[in-house]
Structure 1
Amino acid sequence: MSYRRAVPRYLSSALEALLAVAVVSALTSALLPTVGLESASLLFLLPVLIAATRGGTVPAMIAALAGAAAYNYFLLEPRFTFRVHRLDNLVSVFVLCAVAVVTGRLATRLLAREAEANERADASAEAATLAGLLSIEPATEAIDRALSYLSARYGQVVLVDEAGSSAGEGGFSSLDQSAAAWALHNGDVTGHGTLTMAAADWTFFPLVRRNRPGDAVLALARPATGLTRTRGSIEGVAALCLLIGQSRDRENLLRERRERELAEARDRLRSTFLASLAHDFRTPLTVIAGRLEQLERERPDARDALIAARRLDGMMANLLAAARIEGGSLSVSRESLDLVDVIGGVCDHLVLPEEVRIIREVAADLPFVQGDPVLLHHVLANLVDNALRHARSKVTVAARDEGGRVVISVEDDGTGVAEAERALIFERFRRIEGSDRTDGSGLGLAIVKDFADAMGMDVEVGQGSSGGARFEVSAPCVKVGQA
């Protein structure tokens, strides 16, 4: 990038104009008898036009004044003097000056437009080159190449993140660090060449547009020439920095997508494995539980083995249910259900520990509820199994009509659930540390919540009358005429 001042350009154009006037003066003086005075005067417009197109208004005026003086001195009578005896000679001088002003302004505008077009073309070429470098894989190497390209064209560059970065051995000054922090958190170009902290030795460019969170800025050192960068140069570098920021954003998105795809693949593999494992285990477990039931009639000491087999079968059922939920294959039917039958179906097939008893408080005239019979059975079975594992002496299963909804409660007389843990207990694989609720797979209550939500039921946990845990499921009643 060039930082030459405009004064040398004007000076060189003015010298070229004076040289052109001298050449025209020599030619017209020698050829005056041949070309005539009128034609000779027109030749003095050539230096004016050349100076205007090359340097603008100022060199054109110098060429006009010098041409008028030379025309008067070398061609007008009395020759080789600056005296003017005729009005048309004065008109010629004014015409040269007017032509200089008009052509100078036009040339200046054309030169400015040409310069703008060249700057836009250069900016487009830089952006295309940088975009090509940023398209290389891997992205880290592409960004390194892009920084090398900017460094070769503009000077030393450094990426500065929120943690800070050193610039050479001395590092950033305190003013530079403040400018970097301002650019990072406000999204403004800051530092050398700007209106904000202009005394800094570095210019800091955000990598994202304003009003967007960013995690890094690009620092560009002051030019080695000691000159101040122009506004157009800073705007061009700022546009290139946005390309680098887009490349970093694209790489972050690709990395997050790869991580998400890997996590989804792991979840699918886990679900498939668990479902396959549960399916393969359930058949032999059914056989084992059946034989243990026969054995328990003859030998009461086989009850513990039967309870363990039933519990293991319930865990396998929970694994299959979790796989259905994750796989999106859970379908819900809407039927009218008699809670007396549903609760009886759950409690009548339980194998209870010897020290625990089941108490049922279910009125025979409860209204029917709307739900899926399989899912509701699974919900209540998991709640009762959870209560049996933590009860000291009894588990109470009750149901009451609350007008429009029936609330089913399952309460044990164990240690209960701390209030701080009640919002977490329905999470998958959640086990409450420091209590008696650390056993089990951690899936039962999560499946209770998922199945209840699928049926449009609410499930909550609180404290029972005996201090233990009390789980309540609120089911909608069947409306009149709907059954």
Structure 2
Amino acid sequence: MSRAASSPLAALGPLAASAIALAAVAGVSWLSAALLPVLGLTSAALLFLLPVLLAASVGGVGPGLVAALGGAAAYNFFLLEPRYTFRVHELENLVSVFVLGAVAIVTSRLATRLKAREAEALERARCSDEAAALAAVLAEGAPGPALTAGIAWLTERYGAIRLLDEAEAAGGDGALSSLDQAAAGWALHNRDWTGHGTEIMPAAEWTFFPLAPKNRLGAPVAAIARPATGTTRSEAELEHLAQLCLLLGQCRDRAELETALRGRAVLEESERLRRTFLASLAHDFRTPLTVITGRLEQLGATSAEAREALEAARRLDRTMSDLLGAARIEEGSLVPRIESVDPVDAVAAACAGLAVPEGVRLERRVPADLPFVAADPVLLGHVLVNLIDNALRHARGVVTIAGAARGTGVMLTVEDDGPGIPEAERARVFERFARLEGSDRAGSGLGLAIVRGFAEAMGMTVTLDESPLGGARFALILPPSRGAAAP
């Protein structure tokens, strides 16, 4: 409420304000008539402006004109000669009426504009205070409970409020009519006010406000019920509610972000524990496997069963090495020791440590004059062993290892005549524990994940495509040696 509206004249209404204005005119008439010898006619005439200004500024143009006409009549009757008579045929009598009327009209218009501006300022201040109060509620405590408290805070002031996403707007729980559902869908897709009080579907029972700016799609909307009084909200009130709903949207975003961060923290901790477990498991298995492998090598000289068990132990040892390597890659602790390596010797060493299955032929086509490459000998050995072992496990009759100079570097290829890998699945074979549907290349996928991780750590690239033999063809591109070990 404005200050003018709280005055007695404004509170009494136009008729009462006019009556009080006439009483003020009467008082001024008595005073000016009594003091006329002292004040003089001009000064006494100015006193009649006071009731006009008061009535026009407080009561409006109606009471102001009443005060103007009453003042002009009193001025003519009490002050102008011959006194106590009405004479309106002289110009001075008409001027007094016009001047007082003009003052009443101008003053009332100025007062009306000032009141309107004051009312706007008070309304803006109220809206700012309300927005600050809601922001304080939403900033208190965790975002989730704060959002619930903010919705309850707004419900007390504006009625029922609901937050709706696309699924709730389309189906809901029966609380929304078909028209309200259509309005909610329009608000969700067009990011604008919709429903009761707006220009779009104003017959709806709810008004829908976006919880995010227009450039953000997919965010829910806030549904606010029609006022219980049955009135229609003004555009200014809708604008204010839209701003309050954006505050709710910001709090909701914080709540979702906090939930996502908690989930990520839990996932990271679970992943860390998994990596720690795998590394610990692999490390603990290495020592007994070394003992078992040593005993089986002694027995393998005289026993075929021991040789078969030895191969299984070696395979398990490679798996343990892969687990340790995967843990080092994920932890970021893998630091290759780059030096000049002969790729011919690296291929020979990798083949020597593998058992070729019965019925499968392993062919090597690696020229002896290949240039040296820059690699970590241990990591390169793991890469070649995993590639060759993968090919041996899936080949039907032959595995080919070939090498060729490529620019200043070297390209090594490992091919098999197995079932191959569908083109759509080739990117997945390098993922950890990937399993390909409809293929006997299931395995654990860990070996090829190690291949990619170790190769990238050494600055190499590994690709996969179809082999002329009918199976898979893995190509490893090795950079040239620079004549010195990398730090």
Please, what TM-score do these two structures have when normalized by structure 1? Answer: 0.88
Q: 1:168 & 1:152 partners in 2: Cα distance?
A: 23
Aligned to 1:178: 182
1:467 aligned residue (449, 466, 470): 470
1:24 alignment partner in structure 2: 24
Note the C-alpha offset of 1:409. 1.4
Matched, 1:320 2:338: no
Q: Deviations over 1:186-223 (max 9, x none)?
A: 11112233233334333221111111124321222333
CA 1:433/1:212 → structure 2, altered by over 3 Å: closer, same or farther? closer
Shift of 1:474: 2.0
Is the alpha carbon distance of 1:214 and 1:61 closer, same or farther for their aligned partners in structure 2, counting shifts above 3 Å? farther
Instruction: Say whether the 8 Å CA contact 2:341–2:375 is kept in structure 1.
Output: yes
Q: Which runs of 5+ in 2 are unaligned?
A: 3-8
Which residue type is aligned with residue 150 of structure 1?
A: L
**In the alignment, which residue of structure 1 is the partner of 2:192?**
188
Match of 2:253 among 249, 252, 255: 249
For 1:408 and 1:154, the matched residues in 2 are separated by: 73
The one of 266, 270, 275 aligned to 1:271: 275
The CA deviation string for residues 23-81 of structure 1, in whole angstroms up to 9 with x for no partner, is 12332454454232655544432333233433555653454344434544566566776
Could you tell me how far 1:443 is from its partner in structure 2?
0.8
* Contact 1:24 1:43 survives alignment (8 Å): no
Contact 2:21–2:63 (CA under 8 A) maintained in structure 1 = no
Whole-angstrom distance in 2 between the partners of 1:317 and 1:278: 7
Alignment of 1:217-228 (within 5 A): 217-228=221-232
Distance 1:31 1:53, change over 3 A: closer
Identify the residue that residue 349 of structure 1 maps to in structure 2: 353
Worse overlay, 159-168 or 197-206: 159-168
- Give the alignment partner of residue 307 of structure 1, picking from 302, 305, 311: 311
Deviates more, 1:248-257 or 1:332-341: 332-341
| TM superposition outliers: structure 1 runs of 4+ over 6 Å | 78-81, 166-170, 479-483
SS at match of 2:258: helix
- Deviation readout 1:100-149 (Å, 9 max, x if unpaired): 23333332332233222211211121112212222344544433332333
Amino acid at match of 1:474: I
Partner of 1:109: 113
In 2, Cα distance between equivalents of 1:214 and 1:112: 40
Question: What residue number does 1:235 align with?
Answer: 239
Partners in 2 of 1:310 and 1:32 — Cα distance? Answer: 123
> CA–CA distance in 2 between the matches of 1:166 and 1:438?
43
Distance 1:167 1:89 in 2: 77
2:452 to 449, 462, 477: 449
- Residue 209 of structure 2 is matched in structure 1 by 205
Match of 1:409 in 2: 413
Q: In the alignment, which residue of structure 1 is the partner of 2:138? A: 134
CA distance in 1, matches of 2:25, 2:383: 110
Q: Which segment drifts farther, 416-425 or 264-273?
A: 416-425
Residue 102 (structure 2) aligns with: 98
Amino acid at match of 2:112: T
Tell whether 2:364 aligns with 1:364.
no
1:261 counterpart (261, 265, 278): 265
> Is the Cα–Cα contact under 8 Å of residues 383 and 448 in structure 1 kept in the other structure?
yes
Deviations 1:149-207 (A, max 9, x none): 32332333333321235999974343332222222111111223323333433322111
Mean Cα deviation higher: 227-236 or 378-387: 227-236
Contact 1:370 1:475 in 2 (8 A): yes
Match of 1:324, SS state, is helix
RMSD: 3.2
SS of residue paired to 2:289:
helix
* 2:14 corresponding residue in structure 1: 14
Match of 1:162 in 2: 166
**3-state SS, counterpart of residue 402 of structure 2:** strand
Aligned positions, number: 477
> 5+ residue gaps in structure 1?
3-8
Other-structure match for 2:297: 293
Q: Is the 8 A contact 2:22 2:67 kept in 1?
A: no
Which residue is equivalent to 1:284?
288
State the SS of the aligned residue for 2:167. coil
Match of 2:378? 374
1:87 maps to 91
Alpha-carbon offset, residue 310 of structure 1: 0.7
For the Cα contact (< 8 Å) 2:338–2:485, is it kept in 1? Answer: no
Q: Residue by residue, what CA displacement relative to the aligned partner does 1:352-409 show, whole Å, maximum 9, x if unpaired?
A: 4454443211111112223322221111011112122223444322212243442211
Q: 1:60 to 1:249 in 2, by over 3 A?
A: farther
CA contact (8 A) 2:21 2:55 kept: no
In structure 2, relative to structure 1, the CA distance for the partners of 1:130 and 1:59 (3 Å cut) is farther
**Deviating more after overlay: 397-406 vs 362-371:** 397-406
Contact kept, 8 Å, 2:169 with 2:181, in 1: the verdict is no
* Other-structure match for 1:476: 479
Matching residue of 1:48? 52
* 3-state DSSP of counterpart to 1:164: helix
Moved more, 286-295 or 450-459: 450-459
Q: 2:154 aligns with which of 150, 154, 164?
A: 150
Match of 2:311, SS? helix
Distance 1:384 1:190, change over 3 A: same
CA distance in 2, matches of 1:332, 1:47: 98
Q: What is the one-letter code of the residue matched to 1:464? A: S
Matched ranges for 1:321-336 at <5 A: 321-336=325-340
Structure 2 length-normalised TM: 0.87
Q: Partner letter of residue 473 of structure 2? A: R
Give, in whole Å, the separation in 1 of the partners of 2:172 and 2:405: 77
Aligned to 1:6: none
Q: What amino acid is aligned across from residue 137 of structure 2 in structure 1?
A: L
Could you tell me which of 332, 339, 343 is aligned with 1:339? 343
Structure 1 counterpart of 2:19, one-letter code: L
Separation in structure 2 between the aligned mates of residue 222 and residue 35 of structure 1, nearest angstrom: 62
Change (3 A) 1:344 1:58: farther
C-alpha spacing 1:163/1:481, structure 2 compared with 1 (3 Å): closer
